[in-house]
Structure 1
Amino acid sequence: MTIALKNVTVSYRRRPAIHHVSAEFASHHATAIFGPNGAGKSTILKTLMGFLKPDTGHVELDGLRRAQIAYMPQAAQIDRTLPVTVLDTVLTGAWCTTGAFGGVGRAGLQRAAQALADVGLHGFERRSIGELSGGQFQRVLFARILMQDAPLILLDEPFASVDAKTTFDLLAFVRRWEAEGRTVIAVLHDYEQVRAYFDTTLLLAREVIAFGPTETVLTEANLARANHIATHWQAHPPVCVVPEQEAA
């Protein structure tokens, strides 16, 4: 299974969010994407999912269909005012096998109940997601990932604004998934979490600053360079001119 970005530039209104990024993510391994605010970290995940189209370069997902990717967006991007139950939210993780209108059956319901028990939410099935605390809702999203049973898991700021106990419990799933041979790519903003739970890190500041073993990537020099680039990046950077052969 190959998961790679090859010379990828992604722009919003032709202003680059990530610029000529190349990175190959190790299969069956957990990798953190780390960097300053506005570094393009979430853009990487959206590009891997196919939500964003590269201006240059391409994404390689050899041996993997996008239906086999479990993607967790930032919780703030999810509308929790919808009248949806915890169980219904978890069951959406089965869509890749049942389709949007397929039934999950008794076995699927049992899997969903077990996923909720695994994340510490046994008995929450009938609650509305709008009733939950931020930490409880994040546990629901992790249960949905468990339900999906995907070989590639993409997490976008999975522990933002979550209490320490919930963060500790959910970080254990990163280790679990890695032990099960799954590939995890997580956007994180907490330096200590990255160092404690991820052996490999992509340090990003719209371009690749460093990529490799975490202890050699998260050095003072690399972090200073990333922050300098982020601080001095132009509010309106030049339009990225894409040669016709690269845009094709």
Structure 2
Amino acid sequence: MKIILDNLTVSYRRHPAVHHASGTFAEGEATAIFGPNGAGKSTLLKTMIGALRPDEGHVRFDGGSLADIAYLPQQSEIDRSLPVTVTDLVATGLWRRTGAFGGVDTASLARVSEALATVGLSGFASRTIDALSNGQFQRVLFARILVQDARLILLDEPFNAVDAKTTFDLLELVRRWKEEGRTVVAVLHDYEQVRAYFAQTLLLAREVVAWGATASVLTDDNLRRALDKVAVWHAHAPVCETAREGA
């Protein structure tokens, strides 16, 4: 399953956060979206899942649809005050099989238990999510992705504010997904994580600076260009006149 960006522009109050981005996330590859703060990385991911509407251009899925996607938002966007158990949360990843109001049978509970064991949380099934550390909660969210069994996995800053041991364990899951032929796209900030686990990188600074093999993308020259592009942005710049507006 490939994701194709076709001249994609996404704006806030008509000022572009992602500007005329085109390219393809390769099928069966692990691709990092890398770039400075304010580069539009999370905006791009949310547009890919349909949470934001493009001003111009398209996101196309070759060989699949939105139903084939597992999406992990940033932890700060998730309300952990609800009285939800670890099992309940992980089981929501089974919605494609059970439906929105379907029950969780014995086989489904076994899948949940297996996923929790895989992420190192055996014995946590009955705990509520508000009692978990950031690292434990992130393991739960990865367990949810495991039971969802999606072909395309989108991760938004999955290792932010997570301890080193948890980060290593979850990065090994990313490696496993790649070996299984799944397509993984992750917004990341850690240069060494990208180089070690992601063969492909999109370097984004609202515009595509470089896209391809990680070693050829994350060069000193490209990183300087990305920083320069973000540094010159200001709130009173001219608005982006899109083709749709002109029509």
- What TM-score does the superposition give when structure 2 sets the normalisation length? 0.97
For 1:231, the equivalent position in structure 2 comes to 231
Shift of 1:198: 0.7
Q: In structure 1, what is the equivalent of residue 48 of structure 2?
A: 48
Q: Which moved more, 1:53-62 or 1:157-166?
A: 53-62
C-alpha root-mean-square deviation of aligned residues, in Å? Answer: 1.3
User: Is the counterpart of residue 31 in structure 1 residue 31 in structure 2?
Assistant: yes
Relative to 1, partners in 2 of residues 1:246 and 1:201: Cα closer, same or farther, differing over 3 Å?
Answer: farther
Match of residue 131 from structure 1: 131
Any idea what the Cα deviations from partners look like across 1:145-196, whole Å, max 9, x if unmatched?
0010000000000000111111000000111001111000000000110011
| Residues in 1 aligned to 2:244 and 2:37: alpha-carbon distance in whole angstroms | 31
In structure 2, what is the Cα distance between the partners aligned to 1:136 and 1:90?
13
Using the aligned pairs only, state the percent identity. 66
Superposition deviation, residue 238 in structure 1 = 2.3
Q: CA deviation at 1:233?
A: 1.1
Structure 1 residue 246: deviation in Å?
A: 8.3
Matched-pair contact (CA < 8 Å) for 1:68–1:96: no
Q: Secondary structure at the match of 2:22?
A: strand
CA distance in 1, matches of 2:76, 2:241: 33
Which AA in structure 1 matches 2:36? P
Rounded Cα–Cα distance in structure 2 between residues aligned with 1:156 and 1:244: 29
Q: Which residues in structure 2 correspond to 1:55-134 (within 5 Å)?
A: 55-134=55-134
Alpha-carbon separation, structure 2, partners of 1:237 and 1:123: 54
Name the CA shift for 1:145/1:246 in 2 (closer, same or farther; >3 Å): farther
Amino acid at match of 2:130: G
Q: Which residue of 2 aligns with 1:14?
A: 14
- For residues 17 and 161 of structure 1, the distance between their equivalents in structure 2, rounded to whole angstroms, comes to 24
Counting matched residue pairs gives 247
What is the deviation of 1:218? 0.5
| Secondary structure at the counterpart of residue 195 of structure 1 | helix
The residue aligned with 2:181 is 181
CA contact (8 A) 2:55 2:244 kept: no
Counterpart-to-counterpart distance in 2, 1:18 and 1:148 = 29
- Is 1:156 equivalent to 2:159 in the alignment? no
> Is the 8 Å Cα contact of residues 90 and 140 (structure 1) preserved in structure 2?
yes
